[in-house]
Structure 1
Amino acid sequence: MSSKAKRFWTPGPVIVGAGPSGLAAAACLKERGVPSLIIEKESCLASLWKLKIYDHLQLHLPKKFCQLPYVPFPREYPAYPSGQQFITYMEAYANHFEIEPLLGQEVQWAKYDAAMGRWRVKTHEYEFMCRWLIVATGENEVPVLPKIAGISEFRGRLLHTSTYKNGVEFRASKVLVVGCGNSGMEISFDLCKNGAQVSLVVRDKVHILPKKILGRSSFAISVWLLKWFPVDVVDRFLLFCSRLVLGDTKQIGIQRPKMGPLQWKNSVGKTPVLDDGAFAKIKSGEIKVVPGIQKFTAKGAEFVNRTVKEFDSIILATGYRSNVSSWLKEASLFNQKNNNNPQDSYPKNWKGKNGVYSVGFARQGVLGISMDAHKVADDIASQWNSETRHLWLDS
């Protein structure tokens, strides 16, 4: 092949990312008669789910809030599908809409050519020319590795949750989990069930809510109540129920933010933890809560309260971030100051200038993905010229 990339003119949008966001965008466009091309850097669709989730992962929300546009989950799926079931669902979804991503094409840069009135999207093999560009790489693209003093000195096993699979290999070992979000809590619970001695770092304030209230999903109840009551009223109800079900989290070293859980999510972007068993292990002392880390040592960690403990393994449940601004040469939609997320928050997060859009950055889970996909597809369909045809241009 020539050292120069081949140019490919595509009449419809180029979608970057073949996860749930990219699939939803492509499906919504297809339903409106607009063709699209998905490019994906990995060798498979839904790569985050296929390559980086732990074995026992379940969706945090009921399946009706996690389905992609037009296609519900199979009726035989449980209320909270497993990660593997969600992967199977996405594969069937792509087949249903005949979506065939172009795999193994990592975007090097994407920029708008004002003279041409087109986006230029460059991978190592191709340069795609398109009128519209949809960023669907998601908020969880790159693992976040915290900069904590002494982290390189630790001689035990150090890993991020992106490479954690299950707790079997940690049986009878001392494990420190850094991060108390949903992933940190769930992995701590999994480790505990597999016989590990688990300590969980709780550095910041966090809201923990029961996954279910009176047998119903806490999230579903919140969505229903928000139709009738303001956020602060719903927050008070959730905290009242949480105290009844879980008790006072402060007594075991977990402080709640002053804001209610929904206000906290809307203002700060942090999702409340939906407890599925870890909290009982914390109350019983099987999972030890420890404060923030002052520094790592060769054998473990020193905490901010000056205590020092030894660990065989440290698991960083420190989340992910987007990397969009590293390749998207356009500042009106994404920027580094907002952790590579859209500058405007939900519900204005989905559209930028010159035909650039985002799907999956609303911090609203899969439900937000579906809302974004419909908005983006509607906007592009209103501009669509049905006479446009594909054109190859060899450079």
Structure 2
Amino acid sequence: MFGLSEQNLSGRRCIWVNGPVIVGVGPSGLAVSACLREQGIPFVVIERADCIASLWQRCTYDRLKLHLPKKFCQLPKLPFPEEYPEYPTKRQFIRYLENYAKKFDIKPQFNESVQSAKYDKTCGVWRVKTVSTTGSFPSETEYICQKLVVATGENAEGVVPEIEGLQEFSGEVIHAKDYKSGEKYTGKKVLVVGCGNSGMEVSLDLSNHNAKPSMVVRSSVHVLPREILGKSTFDLAMMLMKWLPLWLVDKLLLILSWLILGNTQRYGIRRPNLGPLQLKNYHGKTPVLDIGALARIRSGDIKVVTGITRFHQSSVQLINGDILEIDSVVLATGYCSNVPYWLQESELFGKNGFPKRQSPNGWKGKEGLYAAGFTRRGLAGVSADAMKIAQDIGNDCKEELNQKKRKVATHRRCISTF
């Protein structure tokens, strides 16, 4: 799959990679790998888990479906099967990714956790140090390459907020990444902290299993119908943006949402001052696409509560002074990038683990460094990044090859003249 040379230095393997090293084999790493494969460029993919797309396979709830139509979620070079529904299920999407890896012969180095990646200015190479996550005696490996693709994604780690008294609470506390189904919560009072897409869907799933969910809505959020007049809301927005300014598209979406969903503020869900598309573009905050949770909020099956002051042993105190008795807590408090923990670089990436420059200009840094899948534009952004990165690396490879050919030709002319 890749050209390399290997040495053993002081018990640590040292591998020279003739091509880029790609860190992460979620959708971003797979997409970059496939685009490189199409150009015949060798590469190595490093993955800390033992499977592709571990976030999808290990850290998502059972009822999850893609929020957008499949045409906006397919990776480069391979569309979804025609028989897949408009919104593929979690299992279908994982199967698609597995087939994708098989089609493009992507064979990652599994169970290798990157400890550090640093550019060696003296030698002009990246040094990527990993530790094996299997076996009783973890082994160390150092990959040396001239190009590094960061593809660990926007959602590498679950965010667990510091809330006063949370450790005192005697019931179960889990992050949404560990939530699978509401089946075991039947009849229980569950507090869902967070009102994004995950918080809404977890609350809906709990309600479907006859639990008693209360959802914490601390800040404002846009809730939009997933479809408007039988057409995907996202698809409609993309179509309108071809002809209208962003602010006007936002106005139209909000008017249509009000006609379909009503005034969400009546149920304790305030809308931000900035429109949903502007908020997404400027601050990366994704609107919630409603698939039934709002109807359960209207009926009272899902209770909306204000922010939290502190937890007690079997209850939670809210900002408005109310005390809520609860059995369990699900923290739908989002995810973050883990890039700052291992990448020793400060020009392309900021302290939050995202590129400093906004999309579409944050995919390339200096010294052969690339960022794939950090556009806050979902799988569509992943595909766009992958194609640009592979094309840029391909152009560099062609230029290097042309330089070698010119040197050979010059050498031959010199010999001929001699």
TM-score class, shorter = over 0.9
Structure 1 Cα separation of the partners of residues 275 and 360 of structure 2: 20
Question: What residue in structure 2 maps to residue 193 of structure 1?
Answer: 208
Matched, 1:64 2:79: no
Provide the TM-score with structure 2 as the length reference: 0.91
In structure 1, how many angstroms separate the alpha carbons of the residues matched to 2:241 and 2:37?
32
CA distance in 2, matches of 1:127, 1:94: 24
For 1:229 and 1:33, the matched residues in 2 are separated by 41
3-state SS, counterpart of residue 317 of structure 2: strand
Q: CA deviation at 1:76?
A: 0.5
The correspondence of residues 67-78 of structure 1 with structure 2, limited to 5 A, is 67-78=74-85
User: Paired residue for 2:376?
Assistant: 363
The 1-side partners of 2:44 and 2:36 are apart by: 11
Name the residue aligned to 1:215.
230
Q: Please list every run of 5 or more consecutive structure 2 residues that lacks an aligned counterpart in the other structure.
A: 1-7, 132-139, 404-418
Once the two structures are TM-superposed, the CA of residue 386 in structure 1 deviates from its matched residue by 5.0
Query: Is residue 120 of structure 2 the alignment partner of residue 119 of structure 1?
Result: no
Pick aligned residue for 2:386 from 346, 358, 373: 373
In the TM superposition, residue 334 of structure 1 has moved relative to its aligned partner by 1.2
1:324 partner amino acid: V
How many angstroms apart in 2 are the aligned matches of 1:300 and 1:139? 33
Aligned to 2:416: none
Using the alignment, how far apart are the partners of 2:220 and 2:124 within structure 1? Answer: 48
TM-score, with structure 1 as normaliser: 0.96
Q: How many corresponding residue pairs? A: 386
241, 261, 282: which one pairs with 2:276? 261
Moved segments of 4+, more than 2 Å: 1-4, 385-388
Identity, in percent, stands at: 53
> What's the counterpart of residue 6 of structure 1?
13
Distance in 2 of aligned mates of 1:316 and 1:387 = 54
Distance 1:87 1:2 in 2: 38
Which secondary structure state, in structure 2, belongs to the residue aligned with residue 381 of structure 1?
Answer: helix
1:32 equivalenced with 2:39 (yes/no): yes
| Deviation, structure 1 residue 362 | 0.2
Equivalent residue, structure 1, for 2:413: none
Provide the rounded CA distance (Å) in 2 between the counterparts of 1:156 and 1:297: 10
In 2, Cα distance between equivalents of 1:353 and 1:276:
43
Matches within 5 A, 1:375-394: 375-384=388-397, 385=400
> Equivalents in 2 of 1:237, 1:4: separation in Å?
63
SS of alignment partner, residue 374 of structure 1:
helix
Map 1:90-169 to 2 at 5 A: 90-124=97-131, 125-169=140-184
Structure 1 residue 42 corresponds to structure 2 residue 49:
yes
The 2-side partners of 1:325 and 1:27 are apart by 26
Equivalent residues in 2 for 1:236-251 (5 A)?
236-251=251-266
* Secondary structure in 2 matching 1:134: strand
One-letter code aligned to 1:130: C
Higher relative contact order (CA 8 A, sep 6+): 1
- Looking at structure 1, the residues matched to 222 and 271 of structure 2 have their Cα atoms a distance apart, in angstroms, of 5
Question: Quick one: distance in 1 between partners of 2:175 and 2:263?
Answer: 30
- Residue aligning to 2:243: 228
Aligned-partner SS, 1:137: coil
Query: Tell me, what secondary structure is at the counterpart of 2:396?
Result: coil
Check 1:287–1:330 CA distance in 2 against 1; reply closer, same or farther (3 A cut): same
Q: Unpaired runs of 5+ in structure 1?
A: 389-395
Residue 83 (structure 1) aligned with residue 98 (structure 2): no
CA distance in 2, matches of 1:158, 1:313: 6
Q: Deviations over 1:255-295 (max 9, x none)?
A: 00001100011111110000000000001111000000011
Alignment of 1:330-341 (within 5 A): 330-336=345-351, 339-341=352-354
2:114 is paired with a residue of what secondary structure? coil
Cα deviation, residue 215, structure 1: 0.6
Q: Helix, strand or coil: the match of 1:78?
A: coil
Amino acid across the alignment from 1:108: Q
Q: For 1:103 and 1:216, how far apart are their aligned partners in 2? A: 40
Distance 2:256 2:129 in 1: 51
Residue 387 of structure 1 and its aligned partner are, at CA, apart by 9.6
What letter matches 1:270 in structure 2?
A: K
The 3-state SS of whatever aligns with 1:361 is coil
Task: Note the C-alpha offset of 1:2.
Answer: 7.3
Distance in 2 between residues matched to 1:148 and 1:329, nearest whole Å: 31
How far is 1:3 from its partner?
5.3
Q: Structure 2 CA distance, aligned partners of 1:375 and 1:23?
A: 14
**Residue 365 of structure 2 aligns with which residue?**
352
* 1:185 partner letter: M
Larger radius of gyration between Structure 1 and Structure 2:
2
Report Cα offsets for 1:234-256 as digits up to 9, x if no partner. Answer: 00110011000000001111100
Q: Measure, in 2, the Cα distance between the counterparts of 1:3 and 1:112.
A: 21
Shift of 1:335: 2.3
Give the C-alpha shift of residue 349 in structure 1.
Answer: 1.1
Match of 2:60 in 1: 53
